[in-house]
């Protein structure tokens, strides 16, 4: 079969690899000239003019990202080289915080909680008591609960130093607005799902090289192709097949952003049959209802700057009367991750404010919390970085119409907007396409 995939981000490239593995041909259409979507590499310069590779947003992986890691290996990326693997650590600049030992799952989490620095006995007991309740309930809860409501009974310190940083990093949504159901699924897979699931995997190469660019190189000799700079403007149903830019395909997978997918479906619904148009309309309505959160990454540099850890948790706080804003929740030492010495990446999840405001606030936060006088290198604001993962949210389905499917970190699934969520949605979509096409072949003409 010939399958069109629209979008060359992590989801689109994962779908293309899976299609190729099943013995079919994938044609990937990408409107821009770069591969990777919202997780791609960027070229920049340090203040002294030295070229450097950045990302359009600092990302991490964890050991529970089994499908992303499998596909990376398949296309020739070796995780042991491309990723720095270390036990879970949520450590602050003063050395306080949580450190998991390199023990089997889930003993690593238990030991990390018991040995948390700066936590009093009642802090640790509150977490052990509440977390035991989550486990006894099978990590399930009412779909309407927020993370903040789920965590009633935890001490303020545990909320501030563990739950809120984990929630905003995994779901990119503040705890008082984030889905407890999705949060518990992430905790279950990371802490109890697979051995080493909680391990932090910090990229040593740019996000394009980590998978999607390598995937494109892997696809080339296998009969599939990636067409850069080809924005799809025409999608038409033709019998049981589909036309994309005038070319006929057995099936189509939309792996673009929700906004681009809606735009294309609005155009395609007009000439479609009533049944197909209705499916497109319902899908587009759900996609339009999604709300989005921004992520800002501030890259800054100073000669000789080095953190005590490759990744530190920062004490973030919103602007309040009498308090200076500290928007960044995490900082990464890119010099310890394969980049030039002195280059740091500050991450502001669920960010609010202008690019210049956030950059200035982060540089001041670095002076106060790290004692570093840094120069800004580049600040990247992804205004629609992730969907807002709120309680009771109904996400767009994988299937839109016969032979027309969608994948991406925002479509229906158990995970928040993460790289693993994008990859797993792609695998589910391809499986659906193949089954759907097989069923269509057995229908009467």
Q: Minimal CA–CA distance to 178: which of 186, 13, 256, 107? A: 186
In the CATH hierarchy, which fold is given to the domain comprising 41-83+292-387?
Polyamine Oxidase; Chain A, domain 2 (3.90.660)
Whole-number Å distance between alpha carbons of 68 and 201: 12
Contacts of 67 (CB under 8 A, 6+ apart): 14, 420, 423, 424, 427
Cα angle value 406/71/22 (rounded, 5°): 65
**CA 391 to centroid of chain Cα atoms:** 19
DSSP 146: B
Residue 88 has what pLDDT? 94
Whole-number Å distance between alpha carbons of 154 and 217: 48
H or E segment and range at residue 297:
strand 292-301
**Model pTM?**
0.94
**CA 344 to centroid of chain Cα atoms:** 20
Whole-number Å distance between alpha carbons of 21 and 165: 38
Q: In DSSP terms, which residues pair with 146 in a beta bridge?
A: 179
Backbone φ and ψ of 165, nearest 5°: -65, -40
Whole-number Å distance between alpha carbons of 344 and 377: 9
Give SS3 for 123.
Answer: helix
Pick the CATH number of 2-37+207-290+393-441 from 3.30.70.1350, 2.40.10.10, 3.50.50.60, 3.30.9.10: 3.50.50.60
Residue 436 has what pLDDT? 82
Contacts of 28 (CB under 8 A, 6+ apart): 5, 6, 7, 8, 12, 13, 16, 216, 219, 224, 225, 226, 227
Residue 351 has what pLDDT? 95
What are the structure tokens assigned to 125, written together?
């007991």
Whole-number Å distance between alpha carbons of 26 and 21: 10
CB burial readout 16-50, b (16+ within 10 A) else e: bbbbbeeebbbbbbbbeebbbbbbbbbeeebeeee
Look up tokens 């980049």; give the residue. Answer: 339
- Indicate the length of the chain as a whole number: 445
Which parts of the chain sit beneath pLDDT 70? 321-322, 440-445
DSSP 335: G
CA distances from 331 to 88, 90, 367 (A): 15, 11, 13
Residue 251 has what pLDDT? 96
H or E segment and range at residue 171:
helix 164-171
Identical fold, 2-37+207-290+393-441 and 41-83+292-387: no
What are the structure tokens assigned to 434, written together?
């193949």
Burial tier of 96 (Cβ tally within 10 Å: 0-12, 13-18, 19+) = middle
Whole-number Å distance between alpha carbons of 376 and 385: 21
Backbone φ and ψ of 338, nearest 5°: 95, -5
**CA 230 to centroid of chain Cα atoms:** 25
Domain ranges of the chain: 2-37+207-290+393-441, 41-83+292-387, 93-197
Whole-number Å distance between alpha carbons of 297 and 288: 26
Q: Under a CB-based contact definition with an 8 Å cutoff, are residues 391 and 143 in contact?
A: yes
Q: Minimal CA–CA distance to 44: which of 299, 297, 296, 229? A: 299
Give SS3 for 396.
Answer: coil
Whole-number Å distance between alpha carbons of 314 and 327: 9
Q: Under a CB-based contact definition with an 8 Å cutoff, are residues 425 and 397 in contact?
A: no
Q: Under a CB-based contact definition with an 8 Å cutoff, are residues 151 and 159 in contact?
A: yes
């Amino acid at each position: 079969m010939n399958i069109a995939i629209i979008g060359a981000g992590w989801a689109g490239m994962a779908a293309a690899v899976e299609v190729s593995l099943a013995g079919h041909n994938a044609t990937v259409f990408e409107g821009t000239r770069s591969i990777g979507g919202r997780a791609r590499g960027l070229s920049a310069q340090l203040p002294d003019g030295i070229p450097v590779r950045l990302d359009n947003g600092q990302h991490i992986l964890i050991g529970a990202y089994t499908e992303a890691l499998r596909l990376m290996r398949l296309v020739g990326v070796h995780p042991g080289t491309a990723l720095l693997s270390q036990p879970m650590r949520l450590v602050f600049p003063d050395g306080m915080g949580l450190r998991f030992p390199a023990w089997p799952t889930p003993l690593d989490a238990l030991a990390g909680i018991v040995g948390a620095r700066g936590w009093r006995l009642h802090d640790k007991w509150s977490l052990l008591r509440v977390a035991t309740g989550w486990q006894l309930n099978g990590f399930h809860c009412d779909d309407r609960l927020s993370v903040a409501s789920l965590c009633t009974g935890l001490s303020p310190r545990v909320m501030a130093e563990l739950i809120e940083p984990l929630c905003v990093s995994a779901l990119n949504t503040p705890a008082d607005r984030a889905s407890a159901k999705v949060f518990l699924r992430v905790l279950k897979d990371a802490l109890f799902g697979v051995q080493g699931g909680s391990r932090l995997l910090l990229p040593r190469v740019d996000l394009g090289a980590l998978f999607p660019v390598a995937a494109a190189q892997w696809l080339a000799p296998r009969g599939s192709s990636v067409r850069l700079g080809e924005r799809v403007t025409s999608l038409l149903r033709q019998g049981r097949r589909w036309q994309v830019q005038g070319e006929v395909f057995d099936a189509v997978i939309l792996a673009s952003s929700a906004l681009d997918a809606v735009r294309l479906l609005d155009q395609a619904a007009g000439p479609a049959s009533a049944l197909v148009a209705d499916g497109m309309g319902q899908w587009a309505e759900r996609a339009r209802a999604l709300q989005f959160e921004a992520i800002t990454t501030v890259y800054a540099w100073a000669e000789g700057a080095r953190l005590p850890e490759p990744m530190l948790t920062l004490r973030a706080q919103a602007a309040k009367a009498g308090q200076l804003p500290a928007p960044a929740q995490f900082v990464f030492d890119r010099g310890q991750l394969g980049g030039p010495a002195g280059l740091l990446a500050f991450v502001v999840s669920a960010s609010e404010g202008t690019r210049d405001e956030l950059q200035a606030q982060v540089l001041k936060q670095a002076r106060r919390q790290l004692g570093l006088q840094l120069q800004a290198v580049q600040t990247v604001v992804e205004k629609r970085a992730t969907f807002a993962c709120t309680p009771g949210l109904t996400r767009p389905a994988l299937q839109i119409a016969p032979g027309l499917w969608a994948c991406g970190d925002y479509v229906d699934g158990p995970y928040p907007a993460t790289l693993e969520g994008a990859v797993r949605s792609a695998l589910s979509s391809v499986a659906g396409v193949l089954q759907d096409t097989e069923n269509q072949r057995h229908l009467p003409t």
